A and B are shown apart, each in its own frame.
With several copies, the nearest count.
Chain A
Amino acid sequence: MKKLINNVDDVLTESLAGFGRAHADLVDISTDPKLVTRKGGGKKGKVALISGGGSGHEPMHAGFVGMGMLDAACPGEVFTSPTPDQMLAAAEAVDGGAGILWIVKNYAGDVMNFEMAGEMYDGPTETVLTNDDVAVESSLHSQGRRGVAATVIVEKIVGAAAERGDDLAACKALGDRVNAASGTMGIALTSCTVPAAGSPTFEIGESEMELGVGIHGEPGRKRVDLMKADEIAEALIQAICESIAPSGDDDLLLLVNGMGGTPLMELYLLYNSAMNVAGERGLKIARSLVGNYCTSLEMAGASITLTKLDTEMAELWDAPVHTAALRWKA
């Protein structure tokens, strides 16, 4: 295992400390329990947005704490849901009196831990559960679909709504709407290695790729021969369209997201392929984002997300944001 680390046990603490020091103007951090909160704490009268999940998906979520997005992020161990004590401490730190909105990716562990935190927290809370990954048919099992890259879009759009003063119910409803309007599917060319595990999560041949991979290196739809970028874009967009069924009139947000080990050059190339596929299908790409936002450690690969934006969602997407990983008009 080749990583820029000291000891396997300290990866998370040291990385978090580095994040806190690099962005001391934006966030405060705590290492016990592990927590990233917006500088200055809760904003009075504003719904507080708290997300979290296993680490290894950076910049998600800590990179999205700041003006116009999250109020706090709870980083779990690598690929492991955080614990309720983190969520409770986050809630106490950023509660502005208008309620807490948990933004949770749909994994059994995350759901249960946030659920326990919600039960323990003394104050109004709501949860937006993201489940945008169209790779796994929900009919196959009762766990439902996984939450992946569209979580970033939910956090941005709902973050802007909270910032302008929307109440808890409105934020929750908007988050559900954005999630329902989104579909994502990803592929992996290589595996990732959980530091503490020390060996790759899965084996994959030199001419294979995993179609529909999860953001923890979980298998997806199937193991296939390496595909060209154009074919990948076609396969992913096809699967997404089957789920969210966009029409030619919809304003779409296209996110081409890197898994961590794929360089920008390839992401822009895949974005170009995706734009071509969108064009052929008569889809209207109104907003775009290309980069590493919801990653899987050093895995090589990418995902494509499409979100059908209504006018309000588009406005909120465009609204100012100032976080470590997403910043505009501020």
Chain B
Amino acid sequence: MDEATLIRALVAACCATIEEHSGELTKLDQAIGDGDHGLNMSRGFKAITAEADALAAMSLGDALKKAGMTLVMKVGGASGPLYGSLLMDMGKAASTAPANEADVAQLLRAGIDAVKKRGKSDVGAKTMLDVLVPVAETVAEGGNVDAIRARADEALEATRDMLATKGRAAFLGERSIGHIDPGARSSALLIHAVCNVLEAS
């Protein structure tokens, strides 16, 4: 798979999974948030789909930066700036295409740092970071796609018993316990999609 094909495949896979699960994300967000996460993600990834041609013509780094900026400008809410920052800073770190797992892990770390900074948060607050950070660890440890997917699922499930201290769910206090976090779910979905593409390539 050349870079253009890879970018197209990633865009298609990510957009497809978000579209497919948009209702579920909204339901999760209705339980402990304000019920718009599915819509927000779907709006953002539709905008990315619309610019797939332009993205495919770019380097992976530039494509990530552009896709990130699109999320920032189209999504709004908490997830827009956060996923936007994730992709933008991954893009900035990917001046050259990642050659190996270590490169990918380093990309992810850069993106995750941006999320932490923008969200003034860290793992344990029942957010997307509770999926992204463990996954980045597995990547850094050289785990294969199966291991990565499994880790994402596990981490997602682990958000169920967490007490939210960031994002809207934090307003629920104890009542946030017992539900998985919508942003953690969308992160897990995206990670699965990326793994599926990498597996097929």
Contacts and interface: CB of A to CB of B under 8 A. Distances in A.
Asked if the two chains touch in their complex, CB atoms less than 8 Å apart, one says: yes
Interface of B: 26, 30, 33-36, 39-40, 43, 72-82, 118-121, 125, 164-168, 170-173, 175
A308 to B, nearest CB: 25
A108 to B, nearest CB: 4
B73 A84 contact: yes
Interface stretch (A167-175, A196-204, A272-280): A196-204
A218 B33 CA distance: 6
B166 A113 contact: no
Nearest to A33: B73
Contact of B26 (A84, A108, A197, A219): A197
Contact of B171 (A79, A136, A194): A136
Interface string A75-114: 0111111111100000000000000000000011100110
Interface centre among B76, B166, B168, B175 (most CB of A within 10 A): B76
B75 A83 contact: yes
Contact of A197 (B35, B79, B81): B35
A115 B125 CA distance: 21
B177 to A, nearest CB: 13
Nearest to A76: B76
B72 A141 contact: no
A80 B171 contact: no
Q: 5 tightest A-B contacts by CB?
A: A141-B170, A112-B81, A109-B77, A109-B78, A216-B34
Contacts of A54: 34, 36, 76-77
A201 B35 contact: yes
A4 interface: no
B187 to A, nearest CB: 16
12 contacts: A54-B36, A81-B78, A82-B76, A107-B168, A112-B118, A113-B76, A141-B165, A194-B34, A197-B39, A199-B30, A216-B168, A219-B175
Interface residues on A, range: 35 or more
B66 to A, nearest CB: 14
Looking at chain B's contact residues, the main secondary structure is helix
Contacts, number: 123
B166 A108 contact: yes
Contacts of B175: 219
A112 B118 CA distance: 7
Given A197-B30, A197-B39, A202-B30, A143 B170 contact: yes
Contacts of A77: 36, 39-40, 43, 76-77
A84 B77 CA distance: 11
B36 A79 contact: yes
Given A83-B80, A142-B165, A201 B119 contact: no
B24 to A, nearest CB: 12
A224 interface: no
Nearest to A108: B78
A81 B80 contact: yes
A216 B37 CA distance: 13
B96 to A, nearest CB: 27
A217 interface: yes
A194 B121 CA distance: 28
A303 B164 CA distance: 25
A146 interface: yes
Contact of A116 (B81, B121, B168): B81
Interface centre among A109, A136, A201 (most CB of B within 10 A): A109
Contact of B35 (A107, A136, A194, A219): A194
A87 to B, nearest CB: 10
A186 interface: no
A196 B171 contact: no
A214 interface: yes
B137 to A, nearest CB: 24
